[in-house]
A and B are shown apart, each in its own frame.
Chain A
Amino acid sequence: MSVIECNGLTKVYGGTKALNNLSFKIEENKITGLIGRNGAGKTTLLKIIAGLIKETAGELKVFSEKPFNSLQVSANVIFLHDQMNLPTALNLKELLETAASFYPNWDRELADRLLDYFSLNPLQHYNGLSKGMKSTFNMILGLSARVPLTLFDEPTSGMDAAVRKDFYRALLKDYIAYPRTIIISSHHLNEIEDLLEDILLVKEGKELHHMPVADLKEWAIGLQGNTAVIGEWTKNKEVIYTKSIGIDQSYVVVRNHFTETEGQRARNAGIDITPVTASDLCVYLTSKTKGGIDDVFNKG
């Protein structure tokens, strides 16, 4: 059963299209990474899934229902982001108690222990926390709720490296013990690569790729060598990214259709073949030009 089904989803804000004819499907009990540049539409998409805003055109169904203004969807989706409105009159302990009353799967002990582990004072109020601590609290909320569809929007913003590591580990452990559908949108793909099963890559409001992480890692290959030689080899290939190194060396990323023999021949011709990490690949795929920032400096 598809947890989320999306067809031709479009959302217009003012004059701009935040989402432009987006289509995808998310299956049950998978951790999917929602990757894209700032402004690609990730947060907008998550808000629509959570039922906070409505689509302008197209269709999105969560658990076979339209999420906007739906009580059933709201009960089975939790959306954690850094603009969350938590009431100022309640302290952290009371917020957790409120969550416990709303979510039947709430794990009270887990929440208390996590609160204690991350040294959050239960008597403090949410808006007195620093950015990192807010994110930490959001994480505790999201994990302990054990909601069938859990959405994290930039969950690690403000967190220091140690806490980020803990978060990924905690997420994985709880996910394995209590499987559910999770979507994480993050800028740190390199950190969460190992956590994710699928990646949904979004560029300018449209889906670019939606595939398992393992596939994405194999999707492209990096070639480095003499510019002329590289040019020869990549004449008929789909070039994703180019960068010049030194005077006559270049680094090029192309689609990986190379067989073993081809690879061997390339090496003989003096070309270095290196794998491309998913994180880098996503950056290259979503950039505006093939040359990246170098183009800014090369013109003129």
Chain B
Amino acid sequence: MMAIIPLLLTAIIIITLAILTARAVNRNVNRKGKYSYSRRVCWIFSGYVAVLLICVVLDTVHPGNIVDGWKKVDTKGLEKESIDLYDAALEGEIANIGSILRKEWSFDYHGQQLDVVVTQDEYLNASVIVERKHNNDDKIEAAFYQTRQSVNGMDITELAKPPHLEIAEDGLLLSNPKKNKIKYSEFTNVFSVKQFTGEDFFRHDSNFSGGQSILYLRIPKDLELIDKTGINLNYIEQE
């Protein structure tokens, strides 16, 4: 509330100046002209309204921006998705949630041990969940799942990239993708509309939903994973 006072004072000062200027202009207007003062005001004001209406038309007509194409999502739904995914993963039922699969890898590996290393960053953005297969088939399968991310009610999941996976020597190298940056501008409603449509008054309805990302590894039954960089591998409980 206190922050409003300097703004208010500035506004008042500016407006007082504006009024005084307008008054000064008014005195000078008393020259005879072909049209009366009120006529001229009428013309100027009509011109102003015409400009505004032209802007309305222009706004409708100009091509949409990238942002326009993003689908609207329901933020609450997203949260539920994230939790569901994580739970399901721990249960071993992640395969049932097929629609959020982003990428799959498959590697051949014959060793007994595998170092798991995160390169470049301190830790991997995704949670790593490991499932031991019932057999030793010398294959490591990895799948990256990501629930939807949104900002201000718009779906931005496509922008999120999956991590890099590489097998080298005897190590599985994981690294985070390059960080994505989004920058855009948004037009919100006037406060006199927002108070009725349920949007918040002062804070713009900003909201960012990160989604849940999971790297799901299926490894041969007896493969030993060595966590070299403190990744925090979650093993699924085998019955």
Contact = CB atoms under 8 A, between A and B. Distances in A.
Task: Answer whether A and B are interacting partners.
Answer: yes
Interface of A: 88-91, 93-94, 121, 123-125, 127-128
A94 B38 contact: yes
Given A89-B37, A125-B37, 16 more contacts: A88-B27, A88-B29, A89-B26, A89-B29, A89-B38, A90-B37, A90-B38, A91-B36, A91-B37, A94-B36, A123-B32, A123-B36, A124-B30, A125-B29, A125-B30, A128-B31
A91 B38 CA distance: 9
15 contacts: A88-B26, A88-B29, A89-B26, A89-B29, A89-B37, A90-B36, A91-B32, A91-B37, A94-B38, A121-B32, A123-B34, A124-B30, A125-B32, A128-B31, A128-B32
B33 interface: yes
A138 B29 CA distance: 22
A128 B38 contact: no
Interface of B: 26-27, 29-34, 36-38, 41
Q: Which 10 A-B pairs have the closest CB atoms?
A: A125-B30, A123-B32, A128-B30, A124-B32, A91-B36, A89-B37, A121-B32, A89-B38, A94-B36, A127-B30
B interface: dominant SS = loop
B36 A93 contact: yes
A247 to B, nearest CB: 60
A89 B38 CA distance: 7
A42 to B, nearest CB: 31
A94 B41 CA distance: 15
A90 B41 CA distance: 12
Nearest to A121: B32
Contacts of B32: 91, 121, 123-125, 128
A262 B133 CA distance: 153
Nearest to A126: B30
A119 to B, nearest CB: 13
A47 B37 CA distance: 31
B33 A123 contact: yes
Contacts of B37: 89-91, 125
B40 to A, nearest CB: 10
A244 to B, nearest CB: 54
B30 A88 contact: yes
A88 B37 CA distance: 9
Contacts of A88: 26-27, 29-30
A264 B139 CA distance: 155
Nearest to B26: A88
A269 B114 CA distance: 154
A91 B30 CA distance: 8
A2 to B, nearest CB: 42
Contacts of A123: 32-34, 36
A88 B29 CA distance: 9
A127 B34 CA distance: 18
A121 B34 CA distance: 11
Nearest to A93: B36
Contacts of B38: 89-90, 94
A93 B34 CA distance: 12
Nearest to B30: A125
A287 B231 CA distance: 113
A94 B32 CA distance: 13
Contacts of A93: 36
Contacts of A125: 29-30, 32, 37
A41 to B, nearest CB: 34
Contacts of B36: 90-91, 93-94, 123
A206 B217 CA distance: 113
Contacts of B34: 123
Nearest to B27: A88
Contacts of B27: 88
B138 to A, nearest CB: 93
Most buried by B among A93, A127, A128: A128
Looking at A121, A123, A124, the one whose CB has the most chain B CB atoms below 10 A away is A123
A94 to B, nearest CB: 6
Contacts of B26: 88-89
A107 to B, nearest CB: 22
A88 B26 CA distance: 8
Contacts of A127: 30
B20 to A, nearest CB: 16
B207 to A, nearest CB: 51
